[in-house]
């Protein structure tokens, strides 16, 4: 197994956690590209579920 470059932990951690959650029957809370069929709708559901945690600071 090759070692990740410094600073790439976040990139590597997300897919690893998603792979661990799937066999447990859970859908990991990961944004999906809006270009993927159902991606936009999936992201809306995530935002609805986590609305109290999401802060929009840009105006």
Query: Which residue range forms the structural domain that includes residue 46?
Result: 31-59
Kindly state whether residue 8 falls inside one of the protein's structural domains.
no
**HSE (CB half, 13 Å, CA atoms) of 13?**
4
Is residue 40 in some structural domain?
yes
This prediction has a pTM of 0.55
Q: Is residue 29 a contact partner of residue 50, using CB atoms and an 8 Å limit?
A: yes
Which pLDDT band holds residue 58 (cuts at 50, 70, 90)? Answer: confident
Count the domains in the chain.
1
pLDDT of the residue at 35: 92
Top pLDDT among 15 and 50 is at 50
DSSP 36: S
């Amino acid at each position: 197994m090759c070692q990740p470059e410094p600073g790439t932990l976040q990139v590597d951690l997300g897919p690893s956690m998603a792979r661990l959650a799937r066999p447990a029957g859970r859908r990991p809370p990961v944004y999906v590209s809006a270009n993927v069929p159902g991606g936009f709708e999936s992201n809306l559901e995530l935002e609805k579920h986590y609305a109290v945690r999401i802060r929009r600071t840009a105006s």
